[in-house]
Amino acid sequence: MENNMMFRELEDMKVQMELLKEKLEKQEIVKEQHLRNAIKGKLGEINRIAVRMILVGLFAMVYCALMLNNLGFSLCYQVVTIVMLSFCTLATYVQHKNLLKARDLSSDLVKETFDLLKLKKRYNRWLKFALPMIAVWCSWLAYEVLYVIPDRGIGVSMLIGASVGVVIGGFVGLKIHFGTLKKIDEMLTQIKELKGE
């Protein structure tokens, strides 16, 4: 009788262990789904920012082509400005193109990790190129405004407006840059958790 009772207790414990195991498996699935959703959300944010930057770049190309000519800037400055904006817009697209296509994270996490690491590396290199390019372009802008544009009053006003624009644009650009790098790091950490590393 006592053996029979112990056998029942063992059977009950076995059933409870199975139930506990099922609960843990469900929690792991929920955790994995939660991580995937968090990664998708951050990826969506990065993609939306990239699309906005591309649209702003396209608008800036058209706007600058019209305004620089009307204000009397040299043809050389106009061409260089349009080429620079085109290059920056295209570089943004190229940097983000793999992530813009990534919609389903049930695909290969190794590929997603590789694409994120590549984007992070490009973002880190981009500042080393962009900041000197902007410094040269702004210096040339100052020269154009002070020495090429015939009306000095308009030129000085434009220089003040451009200076304010460069400061605000620089702040916004750096905030976007470092925010994107932070999101990439967060996604890489979450992917490591998903892969169980």
- What pTM did the predictor assign? 0.74
Which token pair is 28?
A: 């792991």
Alpha helices in 73-143 (DSSP H): 75-101, 109-143
Question: Given a cut of 70, is residue 148 above it in pLDDT?
Answer: yes
Q: What is the pLDDT of residues 101-147, one digit of tens each?
A: 655 555 566 777 787 888 888 888 888 888 999 999 999 999 988 88
Q: How far apart are the C-alpha atoms of 196 and 85, rounded to whole Å?
A: 42
Of 95, 19, 26, the closest CA to residue 54 belongs to 95
Taking residues 16-36, what's their average pLDDT? 69
Tokens of 79: 């061409």
